[in-house]
């Protein structure tokens, strides 16, 4: 019996000037070696090559990077407009360099243990992020990404025809409403006013690669427009389970001075919160480009 999965060709290694890219999985992700990403801030050719690899692989993984907060911010600005507002505080002297520190962040509405694409509830979602590890657990606290292209391409033609025209509501409070109420109280009302639900296509076309991708996630997608609650739940539960199958995943184990650059349009991700009260400190720069998801 044939399967749609047999139509997916494993990604081949590609050649770039200035660094080596080794594929991490059969469909996406590459371990980049032989380069310090900070050098791309003022080196247009190196930045162009890294950007090309990012579009090719969707997620780039680096070890042993020396990156100051100022360099981190400058690198993010090469990719897009840096987001200065987020769920984590910024460094006082470097707005836009978010500080993700645990166990401190457990005091807030931490809910990103479910699969998601960052800020998909906004009309213009986050384009991508640069996450840099400073102090991490020895054997816990991994992050996992899943390939939104491969998930769509592995669907049968019948499923593609069915979901291609659909839209869905993305809502920041889809999963975390109770924890938000517990931690924020009446502030939830102000948050909802500032971040209202947004209607997005279930299948979007990437603005740079031109490839189709599933644009739903367990944490952010509330319902399919035009369906009953039961119908919507059945469709979304199938898509959520399908898009996170092991063959679409890439899991990364953090070490100090590791860095990941990911495409937030073409992937979803989740943190693995298995490190309890162990200290974990990350710096993150996220950026956007003004794109509004479209089919």
Q: Tell me whether residue 269 is one of the annotated catalytic residues.
A: yes
The catalytic residue among 127, 170, 283, 284 is 284
Q: Residue 139, Cβ neighbours under 10 Å: how many?
A: 10
Long-range CB pairs of 234-240, under 8 A, 24+ apart, other chains included: 235/163, 235/166, 236/168, 239/163, 239/202, 239/214, 240/115, 240/216
Phi, psi for residue 131 in degrees, rounded to 5: -110, 125
**Residue 158, token pair as written in the block:** 């019948």
Tell me which of 118, 147, 171, 263 is the catalytic residue.
118
Backbone angles phi, psi at 254, to 5 degrees: -75, 145
Whole-number Å distance between alpha carbons of 15 and 157: 33
Q: Report d(CA 250, CA 265) in Å as an integer.
A: 16
Residue with tokens 């200290």: 279
Radius of gyration, CA atoms only, the chain? 19
Distance CA 130, CA 4 (A): 33
Q: Enumerate residues 6+ apart whose C-beta is below 8 A from 76.
A: 82, 96, 130, 285, 286, 287
Of 101, 39, 63, the C-alpha closest to 252 is 63
Q: What CA–CA distance (Å, rounded) separates 40 from 130?
A: 14
Q: Is 116 in the active site?
A: yes
Set 122, 170, 206, 269: catalytic member: 269
Candidates 116, 122, 127, 206; catalytic one: 116
Name the residue with tokens 């993984």.
Answer: 61
Catalytic machinery residues: 116, 118, 269, 284
């Amino acid at each position: 019996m044939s399967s749609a999965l047999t139509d997916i060709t494993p990604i081949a290694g590609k050649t770039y000037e200035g660094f080596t890219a080794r594929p991490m999985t059969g469909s996406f992700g590459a371990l980049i070696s032989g380069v310090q990403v900070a050098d791309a801030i003022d080196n247009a050719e190196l930045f162009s090559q890294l950007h090309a690899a990012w579009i090719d692989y969707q997620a780039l993984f680096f070890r042993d990077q020396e990156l100051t907060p100022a360099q981190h911010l400058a690198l993010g600005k090469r990719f897009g407009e840096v987001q200065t507002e987020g769920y984590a505080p910024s460094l006082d002297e470097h707005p836009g360099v978010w500080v993700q520190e645990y166990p401190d962040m457990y005091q807030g509405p931490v809910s990103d243990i479910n699969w998601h694409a960052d800020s998909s509830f906004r009309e213009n979602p986050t384009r991508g992020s640069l996450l840099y590890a400073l102090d991490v657990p020895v054997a816990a606290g991994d992050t996992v990404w899943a390939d939104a292209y491969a998930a769509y391409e592995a669907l049968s033609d019948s499923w593609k025809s069915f979901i291609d025209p659909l839209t869905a509501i993305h809502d920041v409070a889809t999963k975390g409403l109770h924890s938000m109420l517990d931690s924020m109280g009446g502030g939830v009302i102000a948050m909802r006013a500032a971040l209202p639900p947004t209607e997005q296509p279930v299948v979007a076309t990437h603005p740079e690669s031109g490839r189709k991708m599933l644009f739903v996630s367990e944490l952010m997608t509330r319902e399919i427009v035009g369906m009953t609650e039961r119908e919507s739940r059945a469709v979304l539960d199938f898509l959520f389970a399908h898009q996170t199958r092991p063959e679409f995943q890439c899991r990364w184990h953090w070490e100090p001075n590791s860095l990941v650059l990911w495409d937030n349009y073409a992937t979803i991700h989740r943190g693995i919160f298995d490190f309890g009260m162990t200290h974990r400190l990350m710096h993150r720069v996220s950026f956007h480009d003004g794109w509004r998801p479209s089919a």
